């Protein structure tokens, strides 16, 4: 079986960040929105570094205005993922970009996304679940409003709560109120850390937010006692190697710590993060890991089984996807 056809589980995908540039340009034309600075001359997303990436990401979301736009985005994203063998995916969503933290609007956006995701599941056999995600650099007060939206809409589709954005802006502890609210509402928890924040940010997220998964988390490798603690506690890392290389955290896949973390028995999974921004796909991630560390189909199967075990979904969905992975 080719690496492209291999059934895959992806746990870390930002919804707007998965929008193909052509999709965003098309909407911009329809709505006469000026997106100066968002694209390079060759049509790819333009960004210089991490902080600039965050601002380009937010500028691109300006064209996503209605629930219908998000329904169209759902199909565009899931078609691309299914084309690369993804059978189950979780995506970071935020009321900040869907109606602006207004509960009524959020419900409408969510309904449109969920309906289209159900249609895509019927058409392409790919399952989508949502992780509500406050944006760190928007601050803890806005995160509380986001957590309230999340707590009111938890269900079959919305199953997780996360935190993304600029790690330099605030510590995990600043967001503990929101995470407590989300946990009490029954949401499963993850937090971006150990990307730009260093190993201490991973410790803080585990201790102060009591998350079961970490988005990235790769800089835990700089503190081997922490690596042992992650392995012991069974904390799952949502590793996005192509994203880390594209944003300049590591020089190449061969310099990436994923293999070392795996050898030290940390539960690692592989995702794309914001695939068109970082010129990647799930197939490319697997091909690069194969080239750098000789990971083979058995390794990828083990990886995907670990990912579905850590997925924020109900047991029936987990069993169904696990059987699919085992049969491959
Ligand atoms: O994982 C990458 C890089 N690290 C941190 N944050 C983000 C990444 N991609 C998107 N984000 C953030 C960004 O602030 O997530 C938000 C964006 O606004 C969207 S989550 C619906
Ligand atoms: Zn991310």
Average pLDDT of the chain is 97
Q: Given this model, what pLDDT does residue 47 score?
A: 96
**What is the C-alpha to C-alpha distance for residues 293 and 297, in angstroms, rounded to an integer?**
12
Q: Given this model, what pLDDT does residue 160 score?
A: 98
How many other CB atoms sit within 10 Å of the CB of residue 192? 26
Mutate to test the pocket of ligand 1, among 45, 60, 165 (most ligand atoms within 8 A of CB): 165
Nearest C-alpha to atom 12 of ligand 1 is from which residue? 165
For the record, the structure tokens of 242 come out as 């192509």
* pLDDT, tens digit (0-9, with 9 covering 90-100), for 20-37: 999 999 999 999 999 999
* pLDDT, tens digit (0-9, with 9 covering 90-100), for 127-159: 999 999 999 999 999 999 999 999 999 999 999
* pLDDT, tens digit (0-9, with 9 covering 90-100), for 268-286: 999 999 999 999 999 999 9
Nearest C-alpha to atom 19 of ligand 1 is from which residue? 14
Asked whether 238 lines ligand 1 (CB < 6 A), one says: no
Would you say residue 200 has pLDDT above 90? yes
Would you say residue 95 has pLDDT above 80? yes
Under 8 Å between Cβ of 181 and 210? no
Atom of ligand 1 nearest to the CA of 167: 5
* pLDDT, tens digit (0-9, with 9 covering 90-100), for 67-83: 999 999 999 999 999 99
* pLDDT, tens digit (0-9, with 9 covering 90-100), for 276-312: 999 999 999 999 999 999 999 999 999 999 999 999 9
Ligand 2 centre from 271 Cα, in Å?
A: 9
* pLDDT, tens digit (0-9, with 9 covering 90-100), for 33-68: 999 999 999 999 999 999 999 999 999 999 999 999
> Where in the sequence numbering do the catalytic residues fall?
195
Nearest C-alpha to atom 11 of ligand 1 is from which residue? 165
Instruction: Report CA torsion sign: 256, 257, 260, 266.
Output: negative
Asked whether 80 lines ligand 1 (CB < 6 A), one says: no
Q: Given this model, what pLDDT does residue 4 score?
A: 97
- How many CA atoms within 13 Å lie on the side-chain side of 248? 7
Ligand 2 ion local residues (Cβ < 5 A) = 273
What's the ipTM?
0.99
| Neighbouring residues of 298: CB distance < 8 A, sequence distance ≥ 6 | none
Write out the H or E segment, with its range, that includes residue 11.
Answer: strand 8-14
Question: Which domains, ranges and CATH numbers included, belong to the chain?
Answer: 8-20+74-327 (3.20.20.140)
Q: What angle do CA 206, 207, 210 make, to 5 degrees?
A: 60
Instruction: Report CA torsion sign: 107, 102, 276, 32.
Output: positive
**What is the C-alpha to C-alpha distance for residues 73 and 278, in angstroms, rounded to an integer?**
18
**What is the C-alpha to C-alpha distance for residues 295 and 286, in angstroms, rounded to an integer?**
8
Q: Given this model, what pLDDT does residue 118 score?
A: 98
Would you say residue 1 has pLDDT above 90? no
Atom of ligand 1 nearest to the CA of 15: 21
Ligand 2 centre from 67 Cα, in Å?
A: 23
Asked whether 115 lines ligand 1 (CB < 6 A), one says: no
For the chain, what percent of residues have pLDDT higher than 90?
Answer: 99
Q: Given this model, what pLDDT does residue 94 score?
A: 97
Ligand 1 centre from 255 Cα, in Å?
A: 23
**CB-neighbour burial class of residue 293 (10 A; exposed 0-12, middle 13-18, buried 19+):** middle
């Amino acid at each position: 079986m080719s690496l492209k056809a291999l059934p895959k589980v992806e746990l870390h995908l930002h919804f707007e960040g998965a929008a193909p540039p052509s999709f965003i340009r098309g909407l911009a034309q329809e709505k006469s929105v000026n997106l100066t600075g968002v694209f390079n001359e060759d049509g790819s997303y333009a960004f210089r570094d991490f902080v600039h990436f965050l601002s380009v990401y937010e500028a691109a979301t300006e064209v996503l205005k209605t629930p219908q736009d998000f329904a169209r985005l759902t199909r565009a994203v899931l078609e691309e993922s299914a084309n690369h063998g993804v059978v189950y995916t979780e995506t970071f969503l935020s009321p900040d970009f869907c109606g602006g933290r207004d509960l009524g609007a959020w419900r409408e956006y969510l309904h449109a996304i969920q309906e289209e995701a159900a249609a895509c599941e019927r058409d392409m056999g790919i399952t989508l679940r949502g992780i509500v995600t406050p944006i760190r650099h928007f601050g803890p007060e806005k995160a509380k409003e986001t957590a309230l939206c999340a707590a009111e809409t938890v269900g079959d589709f919305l199953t997780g709560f996360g935190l993304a954005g600029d790690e330099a802006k605030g510590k995990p502890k600043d967001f503990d109120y929101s995470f407590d609210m989300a946990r009490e509402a029954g949401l499963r928890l993850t937090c971006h850390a150990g990307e730009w924040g260093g190993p201490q940010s991973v410790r803080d997220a585990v201790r102060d937010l009591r998350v079961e998964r970490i988005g990235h988390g790769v800089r835990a490798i700089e503190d081997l006692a922490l690596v042992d603690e992650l392995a012991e506690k069974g904390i799952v890392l949502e590793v996005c190697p192509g994203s880390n290389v594209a944003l300049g955290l590591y020089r190449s896949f061969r310099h990436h710590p994923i293999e070392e973390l795996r050898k030290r028995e940390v539960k690692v999974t592989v995702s794309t993060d914001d695939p068109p921004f970082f010129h990647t796909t799930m197939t490319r991630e697997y091909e690069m890991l194969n080239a750098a560390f000789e990971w083979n189909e058995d390794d990828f199967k083990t990886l995907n089984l670990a990912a579905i075990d850590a997925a924020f979904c109900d047991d029936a969905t987990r069993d169904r996807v696990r059987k699919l992975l085992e049969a491959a």
